[in-house]
Amino acid sequence: MPYFSGPEMLLRIPALLIAITFHEYAHARVSYALGDPTPKWTGRLTLNPLAHLDPVGLLMLWLFKFGWARPVMIDPRYYSSKNGIVLTSLAGPMTNFLMAFITLVILKLNLFGGLLAAFLEVLFSYNLILAAFNLIPIAPLDGYKIVTGLLPWKMSNKLSFLETYGPFILILIVYFDVIDVVLDPLIYLFLRVLDRLSDIFLNL
């Protein structure tokens, strides 16, 4: 069912644009920094949301809080080590985690009220969800690439067949609400960590 919630529906649009754009830009920037020119050739080294958004995926995210952006094309052959895949894949979720941290600090400072405070809450929520969701180890999510990138080559090669079935598995577990079994504990863990880190930062 669509997730409607009055004025929050409008606040989701800029929050989504920011969270998704920085997520994809981080993938592109790290891959480029590791020697891969593909993100530059494909026009992904930009914070222009139009370069990263998939219209259908954005609509799904807006209505259902489940969707997708345009994946950043990379060429691992340019990396000097296998860790390049891990670093590039981590870049997106970790950027969302960092943005959630910054947003939470601003919220705790209680500098704003009204619509701006509500927007910051939505922005925090989307960055938190994107960080956690993308770390689930199911293809084509970043978590799958991180796990297979850390495994020995022979083992990761044996698991490569999951890339074909991953999207279908992901759709099924989302449709039948099984995703919450994995996602909710991860979101709760991230929330606890962010809460603790923001308290430490504000008390420095």
Question: What is the chain's pLDDT, residue by residue, as a tens digit (204 residues)?
Answer: 445 456 677 888 899 899 999 999 999 999 999 999 999 999 999 999 999 988 887 777 777 666 778 999 999 999 988 799 999 999 999 999 999 999 999 999 999 999 999 999 999 999 999 999 999 999 999 999 999 999 887 888 777 777 888 888 888 888 788 888 889 999 999 999 999 999 999 999
Q: Which residues of 120-155 are buried (b: 16+ CB within 10 A; e: fewer)?
A: bbbbbbbbbbbbbbbbbbbbebbbbbbbbbeeeeee
pLDDT of residue 167: 86
Cis peptide leading into 185, omega within 30 of 0?
A: no
**pTM score above 0.95:** no
| Residues designated catalytic | 24
Instruction: Return the SS3 of 140.
Output: coil
List CB contacts of 2: < 8 A, sequence separation 6 or more: 63, 64
List CB contacts of 89: < 8 A, sequence separation 6 or more: 27, 142, 143, 145, 146, 149
